[in-house]
Each structure stands twice: as structure tokens, then as C-alpha cells.
Structure 1
Amino acid sequence: MNPLEPVKDEENQDESVCCRDDSNGTNNNNNHRRKAVSPAAGEHPLQYNYTFWYSRRTPSRPASTQSYEQNIRQIGTVASVEQFWKFYSHLVRPGDLTGHSDFHLFKEGIKPMWEDEANRSGGKWIIRLRKGLASRFWENIVLAMLGEQFMVGEEICGVVVSIRFQEDILSIWNRTSSDQTTTSRIRDTLRRVLNLPPNTIMEYKTHNDSLRDNSSFRNTKIAL
């Protein structure tokens, strides 16, 4: 069996990872147990543990660092292929989310925030998708990351899918924005694993630029 093929095991599914319990896909229990996660006997361990996060905000309210951190929810951590599929099969698909919502899957210990120590000097590749493609592309990029297909050592921090009203956005974050060899390899691997057409527009943006743009936007809103 290919360890990255879906594994169906409903019997031992922990209800804390089931996110189909409300209209926006969140797990209402944000105070779930924070215990160490490790592969069970006979499972296929991932190279790193990964944590799922979810966030949603009102677009009319400008995001500050504080409000963003309050809105983001940690919904579970996985350490093996089997744990991943057990968890993933109970998540709402990105294409079924509503509003201004995001799913994040990051290495355990890294928050999906520009200011996190692991992200501070990094950036992200951004791909803008027409509506209807988010679920398939999200699954493909997640499996590529878990399967270590990017071949860039510890550079990958995590991936994000952002659901918006007119388009959806896929991004992959890495640690070192100044390493052009690494960022180019990530771009080329993205093209391959997502089977992107040659004319697909991909944008690389450093987290420092994102912080600066966000700060400028907030200042503009205040001035207005």
C-alpha cells in the first residue's frame, strides 16, 4: 500500500478533529488537549509533525497582528500518514467553506504568522485560483509537502489555502526568501505537482513586504 493513499478508519476517529459540525468548518472546541503526538505502532511516520489551523475574519475589518492571532484556531496535529488521512477525511473541503476563510497546515511549532521566528526571514509563493479549484489543488500541495517532494531540506514551513469571494489563493511558505536557488526549486516543484499550465502567474512575496503592505493599509484606513 502506498502510505499516502487514503486510509479510512472511522471507528477510532477522535471527535475533536471533526470539523463538519458547523457552517464555517471550525472546530468549536478551541481548548482541545495539547498533548504530544507520535505515530502509533505500525503507522508510517511523517518526517515532521504537522498542525492544522483555521482562521476566518470579516473582510471589512482590517487585520492587525493581535486580531489575527485571536481569530486563528489550532485544530489538530498529526504525526503519521494514517493520522493525517483520519483527520483530513473529517475536515470540510476548502471549496465548501464560506466567507473569508483559511486553512493552514504548518510544521508543528510554527505558527502561520509572518512574525513567527521560523517565518520572519522567509516568504511565500502565491497562486491565484478561479473558483472551484481550491479543494483539488489544496490536497495536491498538502500531499507534496508531506511526501517531501520539494527537496529543499527544512526550508518549507507550511501551506495555506485562502477562500475569498471572487477567487481562492494557494500559498506555500519557506524560511529564507533571499535563497533564490531554493525559491526557484519550490516554484518549479509547484508547477509540476499541481500540473500548472506554463502561462500560470505565480508571485513570490517576502513576509517583510506583507508586513509593510499590511501596516500601510491600516495607516491609510486610519487616515481616511
Structure 2
Amino acid sequence: MTNLLTESTTITIVNKVLDDIKENIGDYHQINEQVEKLNVNSEQIHLNINDGEQSKSLNIQNLLDKNILLSNTDDHKENTSSLSTIDSNELLTSHILMNKQIELIHPLENQWSFWYLKNQQGKDWQDNLMKLATFSYVEEFWALFNHLRVASRLPPSCDYMLFKTPILPCWEDSHNSNGGRWVLYFSKSEQVYLNLDVCWLASMLALIGGQYAQDTNYVNGVVLSARKSCDRIALWTSIHHDQQLIFRIGRRMRELINIPRQIHILFELHNQEISTTTNITYKKKSTAGNKVLYQL
């Protein structure tokens, strides 16, 4: 958004600055002559206002303060005499660049894709799945997150999914087919100790921030599933057979999300048919009816 200062406003501000100069600097008339020589074109002065960010805007008083209001030093006369030789356009351009906010960007180690699944009856799974965004920077993640509905308000039978690009959020994908997921269930009893919105945000930040240390390459994504009976957050892994690695990921998940000790997280296989070809002993069934391979 750009605002232009009117000529009358510019004159008022200049007069105010000159009054201040008169009070602090004895040689008022000399400076006044230099100011009159300086062609301040009001239509060339713009205020840069970036909505939603804490950016500094350039205004005429700041410009005059920096370039006209001189201190009582030995080089005072030299500086004031040189003002008339400064082209006003170059002066404005240089200070606009000096005051322009530098946007800092923070790259992530991986590129990530955010998906939304709306379970509409009568449509195939692929038709219900939508990719909302792909991002590679921290700032892009927050821009996306701030425009999403919070986890606790997600309609039943809908999912949020955050996965490394180009991994698809389905167990049939080759990156997921031999893996499983650590699942945190939010039953009524568990909701006393857990906040779904806080846990979901912590899960995403831990994932994109590479907080799983040496096991980061084995963690593919995280899924939030809103269900009438019991919401859940699932951390997806690419393997299931390395028990030591899987437990290490599970313990790290518990630590990062700050899951109380009385709440269990369960490891389930993506492909339940794996149990028919391998000697797997399941501990129990999960809240969703899936077979549990490990429990923490």
C-alpha cells in the first residue's frame, strides 16, 4: 500500500524541522537557504507499509532529520554547503534502500507437501485427496499454517497430511509400503492430558525441523485424522523391521510432543498383509481396530 504526501503536508513538516533547527543551531538562515535549494518533490516520496509485518516506513521527517538536521561539529559548515549539490532523486533512492526491510528466509533440509483429505462418500480416495501447498522454507510453513483451520476444528472423516516431497500420503507409495506408524490416540480419557492443537503443531515442527536426529531419513510424514470416535496423530516411518530404530523414533516422538507417561503410543504396520509372510507377533488391537506391533 502506497501513500503520497501532499505538498501542504510536506511544507508543514519542513517548517517544523526548521523551527527545531533554529532552537538548536545558531546559523538558521544559512541552513534555511540550503533547504530551499533542495528540491523536495512530494510526489516522489512514498511510504512503504507492509501489512502484517513489523517493517520500518520511510517518512519525510526521518529523511530531513538524517540529511538536513546537522550536529554542531567542526564539519558543520562543510556538510551544509554540500547539500545543494545532492540530487534529490538520488538522495531519496539511497535512503529508501537503506530503510528497506531485509526479509530473512530460513531454508528447510527437505521440501514438504501438505495434503488435505475430505472423505466424501461416492468418490475415490484419489479424488478426495488435495495437495494444498509445497514449501521449502520456515516462513512458507507459517504462511500456510496461519491460514489453516486448527486441528480441533477439522471436520470428522477429514485428514491433514504433511510428507516429504515427493512421497505420497498413502501406504502404497514405495517409501511407505514396508513401514509403519507410531499413533497417538485422543480418546476422551486421553484428552484430559493432551491438547490436539498443541500436539499437532509440535508434530509438524519436529518433522520439518529434522528433530529425529540420525533417524530423520526414516521418518516420512505425519497425519492428523479427525474422527467422531477418536482423533489421532500418526508419525509414518519407512521401515518396521528394525525394532531398535523404531523404538528410538517412538521415544523421540513422545519427548518432542511431550506425551505424559500414562498415555501409550502404538506402532502399527501400514500393510497388515505383511504379517502373513513374516513371523510377527502382535501385542493387541488399537482403538481403530488395527493390529499393534509395538507399544510405548
TM-score by length of 1: 0.70
Residue equivalent to 1:159: 222
Structure 1 residue 130 displacement after superposition = 3.5
Question: Which residue is 1:142 aligned to?
Answer: 204
Residue 186 in structure 1 maps to residue 249 in structure 2:
yes
Q: Higher helix fraction: Structure 1 or Structure 2?
A: 2
Gaps of 5+ in 2: 1-49, 54-102, 276-288, 290-296
1:52–1:74 contact (8 Å) kept in structure 2: yes
Partner of 1:87: 144
Alignment map for 1:212-223 (pairs within 5 Å): none
- The aligned length equals 173
Note the C-alpha offset of 1:10: 4.9
Aligned with residue 259 of structure 2, among 196, 199, 213 = 196
Q: Evaluate the alpha carbon distance shift between residue 81 and residue 170 of structure 1 in structure 2; reply closer, same or farther with a 3 A threshold.
A: same
C-alpha displacement of 1:166:
2.5
Q: In the TM superposition, what is the alpha-carbon distance from 1:112 to its structure 2 partner?
A: 0.4
Q: Which letter does structure 1 place at the counterpart of 2:112?
A: Y
- Relative distance call for 1:211 and 1:55 in structure 2 (3 A) is farther
Equivalence for 1:33: none
| Equivalent-residue separation in structure 2 for 1:211 and 1:134 (angstroms) | 31
* Deviation (angstroms), 1:167: 1.8
* Secondary structure of the structure 1 residue equivalent to 2:217: coil
Deviations 1:32-59, CA, capped at 9 Å, x for gaps: xxxxxxxxx841100101100000215x
Alpha-carbon deviations, 1:69-125, whole Å to 9, x = none?
A: 221110001100111111111111111111211000000100000100110111101
Match of 2:117 in 1: 55
1:176 aligns with 2:233: no
Moved >3 Å (runs of 4+) = 8-11
Partner of 1:27: none
The alignment-based identity, stated in percent, is 30
Deviation by residue 1:109-162 (Cα, 9 ceiling, x = unmatched): 000001001101111011101466321110011111111111204111000010
C-alpha distance in 2, partners of 1:100/1:75? Answer: 18
Secondary structure of the residue that 2:161 maps to in structure 1?
A: strand
- The answer to whether the aligner puts 1:103 opposite 2:160 as a matched pair is yes
Q: Which amino acid aligns with 1:122?
A: G
Higher relative CO (CA 8 A, sep ≥ 6), structure 1 or 2? 1
Instruction: Tell whether the 8 Å contact from 1:9 to 1:86 is kept in structure 2 after alignment.
Output: no
Change over 3 Å in CA distance of 1:71–1:156 after alignment to 2: same
Q: Residues 113 and 119 of structure 1 are in contact (CA less than 8 Å); yes or no, is this contact kept in structure 2? A: yes
Structure index of larger Rg:
2
Give the counterpart letter for 2:206 in structure 1: A
Partner in structure 2 of residue 45 of structure 1: 107
Counterpart of 1:123, as a letter, is: G
Q: Note the 1:13-52 alignment, pairs <5 A.
A: 42-52=104-114
Inter-CA distance 176–54: structure 2 relative to 1 (3 Å threshold): same
What is the alpha-carbon distance in structure 2 between the residues aligned to residue 109 and residue 53 of structure 1? Answer: 12
- Unaligned 5+ segments in structure 1 are 1-7, 12-40, 218-224
The residue type paired with residue 184 of structure 1 is F
Q: Which residue of the other structure, out of 116, 120, 124, is the alignment partner of 2:177?
A: 120
Measured in 2, the distance between the counterparts of 1:193 and 1:166 equals 25
Residue type of the alignment partner of 2:111: N
Instruction: Return the TM-score normalized by structure 2.
Output: 0.54
1:161-202 per-position Cα deviation (integer Å, ceiling 9, x unaligned): 101113210100010111212211111011111111112121
Contact 1:134–1:161 (Cα < 8 Å) also in 2: no
